[in-house]
Structure 1
């Protein structure tokens, strides 16, 4: 047992005894100087790094780098002897923060909001995270020929801090990714994060109870991040909230079953996030906190979205991810088969000009299904899938023509020939 420890223990005991038996006025006076008196006996100093700055709104960058990133990995404690004060405060803390920043760059994170977690009351933040390990890169992204333009836009944004400050604009940018399922919207987001070294915040709107909580989630997100709301058209009923609801007669209200009423009540109580709250989240006053953020919406049905969500200034860049074209297939064939040339490529190119197939379906056919699968077998499987898709599309088109022909014949039989005036699709 060291001499300093004995003195510290003795001093602590004496101070406690005096504090208990002294009158109230003495205790009040003595309490102000307890820490100062104890410092003579206890030669160690402890440094506290607070998580939030100001009024607990903005998370401290030093806390995030030093405590969350560096110290959590190295299990270090900032308690040291007085004689090392200068070394710790000057050299060591700078080292910790620098190392923490490098760790955060190496280990990007994928966050999700877990408002429904029953242990939420014990947490200081509503975000939970894991290490972001998605392998997608812009090089492997099958998005020809628009890929070059997208990369330039992202890199320019990440280097435009002075431009945004000079023009008075918030340092953020909105991306709207739309197109059929399987066209690579989620993969593109992963490639964007890997290109810019940004964290990803996957925001589940249905788990957010109200607009205030949505604002809190925004504040707790960090700089250099991508905030993602996937399938925005399905997340909440945000498309019709600004339109006046149709009035229903009393008889129609009575026809509602108890099941429908319970369902509506459950939907109303689960989330009260409004379109107005979401718009403020994207580009309101609170959106300026932190800076250097991308906000990305994805949807399969862009026509369902309220125009207020998709206008320029909120979603600055609209990117359509459509069916696979031959240039995109070439990227996939290099990724999956390491293929630059093959006799079957000409047939695939001709089929892709007249057939709709998603990049996900193309990739699935290029994945070897057994150790014996070579490039030719994978390409032959893709050709078969393209021919089947072409036949299915032609059959659907023939059925639609047959239905239209029957409908047209029935109309002409009852009203006489229309000479193409009533059926715009038959006009030449």
Structure 2
């Protein structure tokens, strides 16, 4: 009869081996210990069919959170959360819903192109056992996969996780409104507040066809990274918003920011000393952002009439021209047109991507043609007086109606009366206490007729004079 080997005996032999090995290695030369350990690891690696990639929470200096780790955390919270048994929740910002992701020492699976991978959340505890500080704990993700899929994971899957994770972070983050600080320092050039403007394209008083054209253009830009790279252009786009005051230029900027989910940088040119400081401020902006210069015609003397003004100022021979030293100081302490153009589409504009630049003006005729030509301000958007289609949007937003018998009279009046959407909206707010829609619309018609008569009277007076 053949004797069956005893597993208990084998276990005892292994325990004895490891006990003896622990004693021997303490007296073993370091070179020999390194050789034996390396040999064991190579043998185990040969038998183990899996590869592993670690994603640490912080960089090597343990000071800055690693972007790939953050993207993986966001990706797992969206794509793999349903497979996890242990979760953790935390508030990422004030008054926000909890951010939920997998807890430490939890493992989830994911599938990419038919290949299964394993994510394991873990952390490295401090070496010292006397004091345990949360600041000393280093969290990381370990990504495991079969070694035959290594090229797919390294070249495609990690990029997939990074792209999806970045999109989730951008969608969930608190967007910000920045303004440049006067007396800029190298460490801090922008201050910011939370951007919480409620404007959307649905609430924007503008014709539906024009809104759709703008939204389609924005979508093409947002999804055009590879196209811009292919044609050799910087991934940016310029929009010029022009029209009378109160026609919704600032509201349009807020609607674009909410539509794209971008941060907004409100650039005050008069607070910038020179072109060098302008470049420094520009380099401190981030991708997925809108850089706004409102009332560009009032910010600086950047119109095409600058040279004529300078000649006119000193044409009187009795007035002494400025000294050379004063001229040099004047030049070095101002943002010039050429400096601004380089900021928009020169070499410095290539430092970063996915940026939108918006200028607003009430007087487009005052701007230098070089500043607003196509390629710099790619799309010119006229913000006009209120049309009937724009009024219908306001009526829906403020009164909750989409049609009314009095609309025909209002439509005819808006063809003759120049009234801004802001004025109509203000009138809606003032009459918000009127519950009878008929009464409000009758009052509106009365006011429009009054404005029409005043406009006729003013026109007659001008002709008489």
Q: Is the 8 A contact 1:51 1:64 kept in 2?
A: no
**Normalising to structure 2: TM-score of the pair?**
0.63
Superposed displacement of residue 348, structure 1 = 0.6
* Partner of residue 142, structure 1: 205
CA gap 1:294/1:402 in 2 versus in 1, 3 angstroms: same
Measure the CA separation in 2 of the matches of 1:61 and 1:315: 33
What is the aligned partner in structure 2 of residue 313 from structure 1? 375
Residue 126 (structure 2) aligns with: 81
Relative distance call for 1:105 and 1:46 in structure 2 (3 A) is: closer
Deviation of 1:318 (Å): 0.5
What are the Cα deviations for residues 271-324 of structure 1, in whole angstroms up to 9, with x where unaligned? 511111100000011111110110000000000000110111100001111111
Q: Does 1:90 align with 2:152?
A: no
Matched, 1:109 2:173: no
How far the C-alpha of 1:102 sits from its partner, in A, is 4.3
CA distance in 1 between counterparts of 2:236 and 2:300 reads 24
Runs of 5+ consecutive residues of structure 2 not aligned to the other structure: 1-57, 73-89, 95-122, 129-133, 144-157
- Structure 2 partner of 1:202: 266
Q: Does 1:125 align with 2:192?
A: no
Structure 1 position 211, deviation (Å)? 0.7
Deviation at 1:384, TM superposition (A): 2.4
CA RMSD of aligned residues (A): 3.8
Q: Distance in 1 between matches of 2:388 and 2:218?
A: 25
Relative to its length, the structure with more strand (as a share) is 2
C-alpha contact 1:279 1:309 (8 A) present in aligned 2:
yes
Q: CA deviation at 1:124?
A: 2.2
User: In proportion to residue count, which structure has more helix?
Assistant: 1
Which structure has the greater CA radius of gyration? 2
The question of 1:48 aligning with 2:61 is answered yes
C-alpha distance in structure 1 between counterparts of 2:181 and 2:285, whole Å: 14
1:185 aligns with 2:249: yes
- Partners of 2:180 and 2:140 lie apart in 1 by 35
Secondary structure of the 1:176 match is strand
Counterparts of 1:26-425 in structure 2, within 5 Å, are: 48=61, 73=93, 80-82=125-127, 88-90=139-141, 102=168, 104-106=170-172, 107-116=174-183, 121=185, 124-144=187-207, 145-240=209-304, 243=307, 245-246=310-311, 247-252=314-319, 268=330, 271-369=333-431, 371-403=433-465
Checking the alignment, whether the CA contact within 8 Å between 1:368 and 1:374 is kept in structure 2 is no
Q: Which structure has more RCO (C-alpha within 8 Å, separation ≥ 6)?
A: 1
Which whole-Å CA distance do the structure 2 matches of 1:364 and 1:385 have between them?
13
Count of aligned residue pairs for this structure pair: 332
Find the aligned partners of 1:46 and 1:292 in 2 and give their Cα distance: 25
- Secondary structure of 1:200's aligned partner: strand
For 2:462 and 2:300, the matched residues in 1 are separated by 34
**CA distance in structure 1 between the partners assigned to 2:276 and 2:91 by the alignment:** 32
Distance 2:62 2:336 in 1: 37
The secondary structure found in structure 1 opposite 2:375 is coil
Is contact 2:257-2:264 (8 Å) kept?
yes
Change (3 A) 1:339 1:72: closer
TM-score (normalizing by structure 1): 0.69
User: Could you report, residue by residue, the CA deviation over 1:35-56 in whole angstroms, capped at 9, with x for unpaired residues?
Assistant: xxxxxxxxxx99536679xxxx
- Alpha carbons of structure 1 residues 167 and 96: separation in structure 2 relative to 1, 3 Å: closer
Deviation at 1:88, TM superposition (A): 2.3
Equivalent position SS for 1:250: coil
1:366–1:382 contact (8 Å) kept in structure 2 = no
| 1:159 shift after superposition | 0.3
